[in-house]
A and B are shown apart, each in its own frame.
Chain A
């Protein structure tokens, strides 16, 4: 019963299609939904409710950022300039590409092109992994510079900033020792926010492997696209979080004068 295709209205087009695809033993139409459109909308609705909890969850982190950035503005300016704009911008482009291929994967599922669907899911995964690879490079740099909050955090560079050999000027505004300690707050938020974002991507890549395997078996090539569509919503949501993390962490404190 669980996996049977239940026809609520006999002699309809849907029933005929379902009969044609009898080998697909999937819950394309659960018995408690009147129409397949209703079932589809219920799935989308449920997915969005989950994403709203995610908005609240990431929203708490963004709120902490908003508040501490105003409390410790100078520390946030200097530590934000430690992040590499080229790496961050490249990662933004990579993540947008990943989202683009995910959108194409939804399209391929809808028009029932199995091999295209598999290709697009693989491309989504490849770009997702590339993003995490660059993130790992950035994390490693923070490790080497002792910019991970904790006992080994090094504030000397923020109290005595190095001199730019070309201009002969300081690369950053020197911070008082107590403000320099607050650069740890920035880096704590940096690791909390990008770390939670990366954790979502790791989960997403795991789900992508599973979906690719199922897509390769032809499970989404007969009109049943809800898992692909709802995973697409999740993946795009994670993209959106990064679209805000990138300017907030990397961009808004640049001061061309220094």
Chain B
């Protein structure tokens, strides 16, 4: 063992144990995604006024989170990976909000 490394960090790294996700879990996720695809299509044909985009995007976000957590294994990853994923989306939201700061102060949708 190299003396330049902290042995405790090597032998007890903080990463989560590698966990194999079973096909049953994937099947549940698959069904959930299909059901919510059906719901979002159905909701599109109902006139909800300004809530149509809200509902559609909420369902899409929910589906994306399910894919990220289970299909992309983020639920079972180390804190380093979780933080990396979260930092990316957080940075993206900051960029959008800052760029929109002028537009959202106008009469939205009425130009």
Contacts and interface: CB of A to CB of B under 8 A. Distances in A.
B84 A49 contact: yes
B43 to A, nearest CB: 8
A229 B20 CA distance: 11
- Chain B interface extent, by class: 35 or more
A236 B66 CA distance: 11
A176 to B, nearest CB: 15
A232 B71 contact: yes
Interface string B88-101: 11011001100110
26 contacts: A41-B77, A45-B81, A45-B84, A48-B81, A48-B88, A52-B88, A52-B91, A55-B92, A63-B96, A73-B109, A97-B30, A99-B33, A100-B29, A100-B30, A100-B33, A102-B71, A111-B20, A232-B71, A232-B72, A233-B72, A236-B67, A243-B64, A244-B57, A244-B60, A247-B56, A252-B44
Contact of B80 (A41, A236, A240): A41
Interface stretch (A18-26, A85-93, A186-194, A207-215): A85-93
Given A45-B80, A59-B95, A107-B20, A34 B5 contact: yes
A243 B108 contact: no
A254 B52 contact: yes
A68 B99 CA distance: 14
A165 interface: no
Interface residues of A, number: 56
Interface of B: 1, 5, 10, 13, 15, 18, 20-23, 26-27, 29-30, 33-34, 37, 40-41, 43-47, 52-53, 56-57, 59-60, 63-64, 67-68, 70-73, 77-78, 80-81, 84-85, 87-89, 91-92, 95-96, 99-100, 103, 108-109, 111
Contacts of B56: 247-248, 251-252
Interface of A: 9, 34-35, 37-38, 40-41, 44-45, 48-49, 51-52, 55-56, 59, 63, 66-67, 70-71, 73, 85, 89, 92-93, 96-97, 99-100, 102-104, 107, 110-111, 229, 232-233, 236-237, 239-240, 243-244, 246-248, 250-257
A40 B111 CA distance: 51
B12 to A, nearest CB: 10
